[in-house]
Amino acid sequence: MKMTLIFHSLRKASFSLIWALTLATGVKADNMKILRVGTRDNACSTTEIFAFGGSMLSIRLDYTAAAGTRIAWTNDLFLISSSMAAPFEKLPPLARVVEEGGTHVLWLPDVRVPEVKQRTEMLLKILGQAEGNESVCANIKLFVYPLDMAKPLKELVSGGLRLAVFGKSEAIRTFLRANKIAFTELGDEIPVRVDCGLFVTGDIDSRKLDDWLKHLPKGEGVRLVAFTRDPWSIPGVYVQAQPGSMICKVTLPILEKLTSDPRSQAAFIELFSQSISVFTLPAQSL
């Protein structure tokens, strides 16, 4: 069965790699220096954070300072619109005295991400101000996603779409349950015969999927989105569509962080929306 790669990396920009750390140094910052900025889960040089609106972030900042330096840390949130950054929220300052010189860690444990109705870019600016007008600054770009991203899929299921899940991974099941989306459980393995009234999804070994497709009766009506690792194919989405049938093979790592990463959830929802659109196209357009 031949499949066509319909798009590579599912909007490559949505899966952009972390940018290089951008640090702006203030006046006479000989005694202070920011080394790394990150989160509790990622203490490397992170300047981009992807989060849901309404969630809480724990920000970690590693810095060096000379002994006896008194630092007042402030963190302000800006709303980015185009190339402009408008002040959004000013958070209370944190005072700290460095008793010993060397490397130190500053935790901002409760940075609340504002709720949004659409994808919104924000800038979190962390400023360390010491006596003598000495300062250092770190900028973190926040990509904030609305909490109800699953609404389109929820509406499809409420409107009559019958969703079924198979596979050993719990990622899809956990995501659907968390968003109160009903589905039929099919077990660890894909059934030999699939009810043509179901829209089926799950994870499967690439060789098992190839074998299953080989034994699929001709003209069998199947609606399938299969997540797999295929070393022979570049990461992407491969689709074969014909009247009454649509088979989609996904080799992107969407399931790895589906329960926690907004980008993975956005890709999952978009993938299903597009797959359903392909299936519902008129026969003459396929």
Q: Cα-flanking dihedrals φ and ψ of residue 28, to 5°?
A: 50, 50
% pLDDT > 70, the chain: 72
Provide the pLDDT for residue 164. 94
What pLDDT, on a 0 to 100 scale, did the predictor assign at position 14? 28
pLDDT number for residue 87: 63
Per-residue pLDDT, 83:
53
Of 140 and 24, the structure prediction assigns the larger pLDDT to 140
How far does CA 128 lie from the centroid of its chain? 30
pLDDT at 44: 40
Bigger pLDDT: 182 vs 35? 182
CATH second-level architecture of 18-145?
Sandwich (2.60)
Question: What is the tens place of the pLDDT at every residue in 216-253?
Answer: 877 667 889 999 988 888 899 988 877 677 889 999 99
Could you report the per-residue pLDDT of 147-199, keeping only the tens digit for each? 888 988 898 888 888 999 999 999 999 999 999 999 999 999 998 888 878 89
Token digits for 254?
């969407």
Contacts of 79-83 spanning 24+ positions with Cβ under 8 A: 79/120, 79/121, 79/122, 80/121, 80/122, 80/123, 80/141
Q: Cα–chain-centroid distance for residue 85? A: 23
As a whole number, the mean pLDDT across the chain is 76
Q: Mean pLDDT throughout 31-45?
A: 58
Instruction: Specify whether the CB–CB gap between 122 and 114 falls below 8 A.
Output: yes
The token pair that represents 27 in the structure block: 């006046």
- Helix (H) / strand (E) element for 108: namely strand 102-112
Q: Give me the residue spans of the domains in the chain.
A: 18-145, 148-285
In the prediction, which pLDDT does 107 show?
A: 80
Residue with more model confidence, 281 or 186:
186
Strand 56-65 versus strand 32-39 pairing type: antiparallel
Q: Is the pLDDT of residue 105 over 70?
A: yes
Residues 48, 142: Cα–Cα separation, whole Å: 6
Residue with tokens 């992170």: 46
Which residue has better confidence, 10 or 54? 54
What are the tokens at 208?
């098992």
